[in-house]
């Protein structure tokens, strides 16, 4: 019990240090939050033009793939929140850089778990971000409240917050796994570029993925079987009640399964990567 308390105290101290370190850049967090919403304006104007063209100059009442114009705007606002949870800027490239330049050895010789250390660092990063960015988020959503039909039922809201937490875990362990590949290749920028490219289109960042249902063929099923959809699309669709009942239950189970898969993958990559690692650099 004393050993467990000592470990908890150590991790709490690491978290506090990371938290206070991130607070130094609170102005950058706030500015970054406002910048996140600027692309939304482009999307609002674009979809307004599309719906107006479909409705002969009127966007009200028109639907595309089950989405009204108001649904689309609400979706993009919600997917912005999802992406803020699941995006891990600099994580994979940072891990690969530390491996390549030998800085990672300072963690390997200390009695701490490297992946848990990075996870605490990222939790502190996200917590600081949302504390600082809360005001811009509230202002934007108050201004855009007319695009929402209202709050979903309590059980749906609980699933939504759960899916947001899982999207954070999924985003972290996916990028940590990519970063750990640096033990073999040293450089992962090309791999990370491919990942970011697919993530941008297949996470639901560009459009709601259930629009693909009308395309026919296996494409919708293939895309929805990938973990990327849980980074942005799934939480937003849960809030908008586009996914309900048994589909919602299975979606939550699959999201948990992907998180467990990448936790194991990152652990295996770290375990076997360290075994063949040679510390280069100063």
The most confident of 14-28, 41-55, 188-202, by mean pLDDT: 188-202
pLDDT at 158: 94
- Which of the four pLDDT bands, split at 50, 70 and 90, describes residue 261? very high
Overall average pLDDT of the 65-83 stretch: 87
**Overall domain count for the chain:** 1
**117 has a pLDDT exceeding 70:** yes
DSSP-derived letter for residue 68 is E
Token representation of residue 19: 């938290």
- Whether 205 is in a domain gets the answer yes
pLDDT at 142: 86
Average of per-residue pLDDT values in the chain: 83
Helix, strand and coil percent figures for the chain, each rounded to 5:
75, 0, 20
Q: Residue 244: CB partners within 8 Å, gap ≥ 6? A: 156
**32 has a pLDDT exceeding 80:** no
- Whether 282 is in a domain gets the answer no
- Which of the four pLDDT bands, split at 50, 70 and 90, describes residue 239? very high
Residue 219 CA, chain-centre distance (Å), reads 23
Alpha-carbon span 141 to 150, nearest angstrom: 12
Overall average pLDDT of the 212-225 stretch: 76
Q: Count CB neighbours of 14 within 10 A.
A: 16
Alpha-carbon span 202 to 79, nearest angstrom: 13
When comparing pLDDT for 155 and 58, which is higher?
Answer: 155
The most confident of 92-101, 130-139, 229-238, by mean pLDDT: 229-238
pLDDT at 29: 66
Percent of the chain with pLDDT over 70: 91
pTM value is 0.84
- Whether 63 is in a domain gets the answer yes
- Which of the four pLDDT bands, split at 50, 70 and 90, describes residue 208? confident
pLDDT at 187: 77
Intra-chain end-to-end CA distance of the chain, in Å: 38
- Whether 281 is in a domain gets the answer no
Q: Give the range of the structural domain holding residue 75, as residue numbers without chain letter.
A: 1-276
- Whether 149 is in a domain gets the answer yes
Mind listing the pLDDT tens digit for each residue in 145-199?
Answer: 888 888 889 999 999 999 999 999 999 999 999 998 888 887 788 888 888 888 8
Overall average pLDDT of the 224-235 stretch: 90
- Whether 52 is in a domain gets the answer yes
pLDDT at 219: 76
- Which of the four pLDDT bands, split at 50, 70 and 90, describes residue 57? low
Overall average pLDDT of the 58-71 stretch: 79
**110 has a pLDDT exceeding 80:** no
When comparing pLDDT for 56 and 233, which is higher?
Answer: 233
- Whether 66 is in a domain gets the answer yes
- Whether 168 is in a domain gets the answer yes
């Amino acid at each position: 019990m004393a050993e467990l308390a000592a470990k908890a105290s150590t991790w709490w101290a690491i978290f506090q240090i990371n938290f206070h370190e991130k607070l130094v850049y609170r102005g950058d967090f706030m500015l970054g939050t406002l910048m996140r919403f600027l692309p939304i304006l482009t999307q609002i104007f674009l979809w307004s033009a599309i719906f107006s063209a479909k409705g002969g100059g009127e966007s009200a009442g028109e639907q595309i793939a089950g989405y009204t114009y108001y649904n689309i705007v609400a979706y993009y606002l919600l997917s912005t929140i999802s992406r803020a949870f699941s995006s891990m800027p600099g994580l994979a490239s940072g891990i690969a850089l530390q491996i390549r330049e030998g800085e990672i050895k300072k963690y390997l010789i200390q009695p701490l778990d490297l992946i848990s250390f990075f996870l605490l660092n990222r939790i502190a990063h996200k917590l600081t971000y949302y504390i600082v960015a809360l005001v811009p988020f509230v202002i934007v959503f108050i201004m855009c409240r007319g695009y929402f039909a209202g709050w979903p039922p309590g059980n749906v809201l609980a699933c939504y917050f759960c899916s947001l937490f899982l999207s954070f875990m999924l985003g972290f362990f996916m990028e940590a796994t990519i970063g750990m590949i640096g033990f073999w290749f040293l450089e992962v920028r090309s791999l990370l570029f491919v990942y970011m490219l697919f993530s941008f289109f297949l996470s639901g960042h560009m459009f709601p993925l259930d629009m693909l249902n009308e395309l026919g063929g296996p494409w919708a099923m293939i895309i929805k079987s990938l973990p990327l959809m849980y980074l942005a699309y799934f939480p937003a669709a849960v809030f908008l009640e586009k996914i309900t009942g048994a589909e919602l239950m299975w979606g939550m189970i699959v999201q948990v399964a992907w998180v467990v898969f990448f936790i194991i993958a990152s652990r295996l990559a770290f375990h076997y990567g360290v075994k063949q690692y040679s510390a280069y650099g100063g």
